[in-house]
Amino acid sequence: MQLGNYTLGKELGRGGYATVYLATHRNLHNQIALKQLHPHLVQDTTARARFIQEAQLAASLDHPHIVQIFDLHVTPNYEQPQDIYLTSAYLDGGSLKTRLAEPNTILNSGEALEILNNIADALDHAHAHDLIHRDVKPSNILFDLAGSAYLADFGLVQAANTPRLTKVGGVVGSPTYIAPEQASGQSLDGRTDQYSLAVVAFEMLVGAPPFSGASATSTTLMHVTDAPPAASSRNATIPTEVDAVLNRALAKQSAERYANCAAFVAALKAAYADSALREYRQSLAACETAMAEGALETATEQLETAEQRLLALPQQSINVQALAQIRQRLQQHIDYAAIQANWQQAQSHAENTLALAPDYPDPQRTFALLGLRKPQREWPSGAELYRQISMGALLGAVACGLFLYFAFRLITLP
């Protein structure tokens, strides 16, 4: 199908008021994403204005993690309704919704934090320009092939100090990710998007959103009335420090949340770092305890665990130094244990030898050193006996001569 200068390809997505296609430019042959307003909504003033506003507001934002809008085409007087469309950059890495739809998908903390960091930066940029996205959800987070995340679909963006393009009393947003004040029709600010981003964060880390009712209405009501569950209660690998951060970002009152999305993500990173430090110290303490109990194999395992957890920490010298000191002490214990094991092995071999041959010669006195044979008295050789007798006779003759000399002097005294 041809639409203006574009040849439409496969359908990438379909929403309540528009369809997105993969399209190729007729002359440039580059691929783009083409979003077309549903023909039956062209005469709907609100839908038409919302579609045009999306293109204008998104195009006004220049940010590396916001999908770039290329063009907006509107047929004059809407004579050809199918010719109302906008074009934007095509990201061929899929969406977060597709990624999370895979069975048993839970993102690791590093991957989730990288995505959150990109989207939080994009949202804060929009908020700095007085724009509120109002529809942050996985299907509006897209990826390029390098894995970088982009914020898309500004169809529900609300500009500050401008009338809303919705019916009075209507609720705008996705029930699973909607903020309480958004569901209640109250005034909104950047912290409304922060709430939705926190729901996305919860889903990435746990594998399911915090609130899921039997219907869209019940789910929306849960956002307004129910306290969010602890993420760690649904995924044991999530540190308890993370629960406090998510609970604050999911607070019912926007004033209780973080000042901006970047502050929320920074707190989440700090929570993981604090958890890693706590677990690192626990591993070191467990290593110390195992050493004291002589369980050197367990101590080695705990030390290896601590080394792995150290990689997740900022490399403060105090942490590295503490690990090095315990590693040195553990090595000394292991060396001593090896010496002791060798000694015991030698003793065992000697015991076996003596059991088979009690009179086995022991010129090095090894058996005596091991406490297995008392040192036996050794008789001197003939040469040694001759030297000892000769020396004794000589010393005896000298002693006898001295005795006779002093006796003679004593007798002859006047």
Give the tens place of pLDDT for each residue, 79-126. 555 578 889 999 989 899 999 988 778 899 989 999 999 999 999 999
pLDDT at 386: 84
CA distance linking residue 395 with residue 259, whole number of Å: 105
Q: Going residue by residue through the chain, which has 414 residues, state the pLDDT in tens, using 9 for 90 and above.
A: 788 888 999 988 887 778 889 999 888 889 999 988 888 888 788 888 888 887 888 888 889 999 988 888 887 765 555 578 889 999 989 899 999 988 778 899 989 999 999 999 999 999 999 889 988 999 999 999 999 999 988 766 665 544 444 443 445 678 999 999 999 888 889 999 999 999 999 999 999 999 999 999 999 999 999 999 999 999 998 999 999 999 999 999 999 999 999 999 999 999 988 888 888 888 888 988 988 888 888 888 888 888 887 876 766 666 778 888 888 888 888 878 788 777 777 777 777 776 666 677 777 667 776 667 665 556 667 787 888 888 888 898 988 988 888 888 888 876
E strand or H helix that includes residue 69: strand 69-73
Give residue 166's region: left, alpha or beta (phi > 0; psi -120 to 50): beta
pLDDT at 52: 85
What DSSP string describes 7-39?
EEEEEEEE-SSEEEEEEEETTT--EEEEEEE-G
- With CA atoms as reference, report the closest residue to 63 among 267, 249, 262, 268: 262
Q: In what order do the strands lie in the sheet with 2-3?
A: 2-3, 6-14, 18-25, 31-37, 85-89, 69-73
For residue 120, how many other CB atoms are within 10 A of its CB? Answer: 26
Q: Are 7 and 26 in contact (CB under 8 A)?
A: yes
Name the pTM for this structure: 0.71
Q: Where are the alpha helices (DSSP H) in 70-189?
A: 96-101, 109-128, 180-183
Q: Is 225 exposed, middle or buried (0-12, 13-18, 19+ CB in 10 A)?
A: exposed
Residue 235's Cα: distance from chain center in Å?
Answer: 14
Q: Where are the alpha helices (DSSP H) in 207-316?
A: 216-225, 231-234, 240-249, 261-292, 296-310
Q: Which residues of 373-405 are buried (b: 16+ CB within 10 A; e: fewer)?
A: beeeeeeeeeeeeeeeeeeeeeeeeeeeeeeee
pLDDT at 261: 97
What phi and psi values does residue 338 have, to the nearest 5 degrees? Answer: -65, -45
Both tokens assigned to 152: 């898309």
What phi and psi values does residue 286 have, to the nearest 5 degrees? Answer: -65, -35
pLDDT at 161: 42
135 belongs to the catalytic site: yes
pLDDT at 314: 65
Catalytic residue among 92, 124, 130, 135: 135
Amino acid at site 144: D
Classify 210 as helix, strand or coil: coil
Q: What is the DSSP letter of 214?
A: S
Both tokens assigned to 411: 């007798």
Both tokens assigned to 13: 């997505």
Tally of CA atoms within 13 A in the half-sphere of 22 that contains its CB: 11
Amino acid at site 186: Q
pLDDT at 138: 94
pLDDT at 126: 93
pLDDT at 374: 65
Amino acid at site 74: V
Angle 316-320-322 (CA atoms, 0-180°, nearest 5)?
A: 115
